[in-house]
């Protein structure tokens, strides 16, 4: 049994488009908000966190509708592409408008809502493409390829941000470049994706997929989704406030971009090997190892915040992210039947978006003058939630690991 690598790479263009947009979004929007709110008395971090969290509330509200619509559209037409095309074009166009409205809070919030609504219209359908066309034993490898493409999008996002900053160009250039990348990815998806499921004769004998998750695995599913939740509590706090942390703590916005580039490099290099490790040792063990690496890296950055000292730690964090990102989604999918990919994708993204709704406001409140009054707490905050993620996986029943999709 072989992975259809070319088709998986094409499907990964969706992940690339999502990642390049998120990097630019998470770097620029907090700076836009900070610039607008600078005249207010204290509490900037909390208000920024509230705004960055509210946009994710849209995602939580939309997920049940979007996943059900995606599955129904797939059953009726055999394709998820119309939703993906509508989401990409709308998100790209709305994102281009952000620099034009950044000095008007109402228009900026309205534009952010449009970007997030469009993103969530196509993210779950795009994520469901991979299990649609990939047999269970190969989903770990396929997910690694998808995440490599996402990592390429992350790297490209940082290149555009760093290049734009070094060249001294306005952020309007960056957002337009991001939109151009998204439209290119959409064109590849529309014209090159093969949504035909694999023929049964092409598969090795595997256990029959269950229509619903068995009762004895529900406890394990809870712990895995809890780990996903804590992971995104940690990661999204860094993504939300790293641009401000870079300016206030490191004293240079490009220093923060360099650290995030080291993180992206560690993640990119180890994404595909992490899938092979999961086949040998199990997704649960590899994800647990990733959580531990991220905890240690975050602690090192807390103790040694200087960019030169933090650079290796951010690379280690990136390696841990690769171990987690490549295997958390297949771990969740191992509980679902062949007709429920989008629904279980919805569970996964519900956990991620709930965390990303809560953590910006919570972290912003901690960093505000009302409590800690310092952005230096960013890395300890992230490290704490990674420890909680590791604990959730550690206490998960052993049968979680044994219930995974069959391996070759």
Q: Which of 87-101, 138-152, 349-363 has the lowest mean pLDDT?
A: 138-152
**CB-count burial class (<10 Å; 0-12, 13-18, 19+) for 290:** buried
**Residue-averaged pLDDT of the chain:** 79
Residues 224-235: pLDDT tens digits? 889 999 999 999
Which CATH homologous superfamily contains domain 5-196+213-402?
MFS general substrate transporter like domains (1.20.1250.20)
Most confidently modeled of 31-45, 99-113, 154-168? 99-113
Tokens of 350: 């519900």
> Do 285 and 398 form a contact (C-beta atoms < 8 A)?
no
For range 78-82, the mean pLDDT: 76
pLDDT of residue 165: 60
The domain spans of the chain are 5-196+213-402
pLDDT at position 212: 47
Residues 14-52: pLDDT tens digits? 889 988 998 888 888 888 888 777 655 555 778 888 888
In what helix (H) or strand (E) does residue 48 lie, and over which residues does it extend? helix 44-77
Structure tokens at 15: 């992940």
pTM for the structure as a whole: 0.75
Helix 218-245 × helix 253-281 angle, to 10°: 160
Euclidean distance between the first and the last CA atom of the chain, given in angstroms as a whole number: 8
Average pLDDT over residues 141-159: 81
Q: For residue 215, what pLDDT is reported?
A: 41
The token pair at 162 is: 């760093």
Helix residue ranges per DSSP H, 78-168? 81-101, 105-133, 139-167
- The predicted pLDDT at position 317 comes to 93
Two structure tokens written together for 116: 């997030």
- Report the alpha-carbon distance of residue 339 to residue 288 in Å, rounded: 29
Q: How many CB atoms lie within 10 A of CB 321?
A: 29
């Amino acid at each position: 049994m072989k992975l259809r690598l070319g088709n998986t790479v094409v499907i990964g263009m969706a992940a690339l488009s999502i990642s390049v947009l998120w990097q630019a979004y998470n770097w620029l929007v907090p700076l836009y908000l900070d610039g607008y709110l600078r005249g207010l008395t204290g509490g900037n971090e909390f208000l920024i966190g509230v705004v960055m969290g509210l946009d994710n509330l849209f995602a939580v509200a939309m997920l049940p509708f979007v996943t059900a619509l995606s599955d129904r559209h797939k059953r009726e037409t055999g394709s998820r592409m119309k939703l993906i095309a509508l989401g990409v074009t709308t998100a790209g166009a709305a994102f281009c408008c952000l620099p034009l409205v950044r000095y008007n809070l109402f228009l900026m919030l309205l534009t952010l809502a449009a970007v997030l609504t469009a993103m969530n219209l196509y993210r779950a359908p795009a994520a469901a493409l991979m299990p649609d066309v990939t047999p269970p034993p190969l989903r770990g490898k396929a997910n690694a390829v998808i995440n490599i493409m996402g990592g390429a999008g992350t790297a490209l996002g940082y290149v555009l941000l760093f290049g734009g900053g070094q060249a001294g160009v306005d952020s309007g250039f960056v957002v337009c470049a991001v939109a151009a990348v998204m439209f290119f990815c959409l064109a590849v998806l529309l014209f090159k994706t093969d949504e035909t499921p694999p023929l049964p004769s092409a598969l090795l004998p595997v256990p029959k997929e269950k229509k619903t998750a068995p009762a004895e695995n529900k406890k394990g599913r809870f712990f895995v989704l809890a780990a996903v939740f804590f992971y995104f509590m940690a990661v999204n706090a860094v993504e939300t406030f790293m641009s401000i942390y870079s300016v206030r703590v490191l004293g240079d916005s490009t220093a923060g971009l360099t650290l995030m580039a080291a993180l992206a490099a560690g993640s990119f290099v180890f994404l595909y090997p992490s899938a092979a490790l999961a086949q040998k040792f199990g997704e649960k063990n590899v994800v647990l190892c990733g959580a531990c690496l991220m905890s240690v890296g975050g602690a090192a950055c807390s103790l040694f915040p200087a960019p030169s000292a933090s650079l290796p730690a951010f690379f280690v964090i990136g390696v841990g992210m690769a171990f987690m990102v490549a295997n958390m989604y297949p771990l969740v999918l191992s509980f679902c039947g062949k007709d429920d990919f989008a629904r279980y994708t919805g569970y996964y993204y519900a956990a991620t978006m709930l965390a990303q709704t809560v953590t910006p406001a919570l972290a912003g409140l901690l960093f505000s003058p009302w409590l800690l009054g310092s952005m230096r707490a960013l890395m300890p905050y992230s490290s704490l939630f990674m420890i909680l993620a590791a604990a959730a996986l550690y206490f998960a029943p052993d049968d979680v690991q044994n219930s995974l999709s069959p391996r070759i």
